[in-house]
Structure 1
Amino acid sequence: MPTPFPADVRAAPEGIHPGDLVVARAWKFDAGPHWVVPGTYLGADRTGHWIFQPGGAFVARPGAAFFAESDAVCLIPHRGAGADVETDQWVATFYDASHPGDFRVYIDVSTHIGWRPLAPHGWEVHSVDMDLDVVRSTTRGVYLDDEDEFEQHRIDYGYPAELTALLRAGAEELVAAVSEGRGVFAAVEDGTSRTALDWLNAARRAASSSAKPEDDGRRPAASAPTT
């Protein structure tokens, strides 16, 4: 990848603990910085690592910034074979009915996903956003978004042909998995992922149990869902 994208990312965050700070840091393929979203580590399951991104969090990229209007959880899939899909080239954000928009699942097709430790504690998870998005909406259903941006950047940034084919195939698989409600994408009536809702509720319980972070800067740890 072009610099300054870090080359020393790890496949997994060894020694991470629930309650640790996690900063999700995305890039574009030309090494331009993209979205930065802070959150709190919740835990891991068979699909990947879960991060709580609370309402009110400051979300920014060059030229744009806002405070998140609702809670969300972000899923970083395990490297290698996913639990519910073959591809691991993605990062997913899940919302529930508290979200003011119509999104319930928003998957950024991504590559070069990896972790780096933060000082004095915590982690950042890096990814290269590859334009294509798989969305589950309460008004539009499941659809693949930003195909035009992908095609333009494929030319402008010089996406390798092998990577292009891999990402297209992965996006198609993700559309099918979300449409079928496979595994982690299985939904309750309003389209919210059942698994994500469990993690959201666990995070909210942990947050409400303490009015302020612990003295070492960590937020209260959420108990992993049992489902």
Structure 2
Amino acid sequence: MISRSGLAVGFSVLAFGLAMSPTAQAQDLSFDSPYVEFGAGGNWQELALDNLSSSSNYTPSSTEVSNLELGADLYAAVGATLIPGLRAEIQGSYHTNSGARFDVQSEGSATLTADSATFMVLANLWKDFAVTQGMTFSVGAGLGLGSSQQTAESGAYTTDINTTGLAYMIGAGVGFDIGSGMVISLTYSLSGIAGGTSGQVAFDSSDSDDEPFTGDLSSSMNQSLTVGLRIPM
């Protein structure tokens, strides 16, 4: 997992590169070549279960039966060229994963299943580098607002962990010109909510004399691989 300091370095390097670009220094910013982009792909995320506790003298232990399965990433963006090779856009994205399961043992036993979903609206900057005729390599980063929800179920207990805050994205990809100004993109990105997402969940014990177990459920960043279509307006 990339640390917050690593993300900060990545944003700093991108900002420094854009600021020192001779093109950026030589030209005034303008909003040319507006476009819309739509895309979809796979999303990877993991959940972790920690700090288990019980009212009994037994310390609960957990076994990860399965983590979140491959999910979906859907996005739409509207943007424009600021200067040649530099794009700015507003992007909305939705990431979803399901299928996590943890078995917990104490005096009794319990099973927890969990799903995760994240929605973000970001302001992104993308720097495009020409590789060959009709092909570009791009690096980008974005900041905005995001909301994440993990839904955990254990017997009669259902817990929603909701986190809203500063959202971020860093990514890289390639674009292929397919004519008429349209571009097909393949992008890998890391995104999430600053500070992470975590919260306490309860477990429905099979031992009727045992109080519910509790634990902390937390999620990792989203990792996405998407295919997009950029259409000039």
Q: TM-score, normalised by structure 1?
A: 0.30
**Where is the helix percentage greater, Structure 1 or Structure 2?**
1
Higher relative contact order, structure no. (Cα contacts within 8 Å, ≥ 6 residues apart) = 2
**Where is the strand percentage greater, Structure 1 or Structure 2?**
2
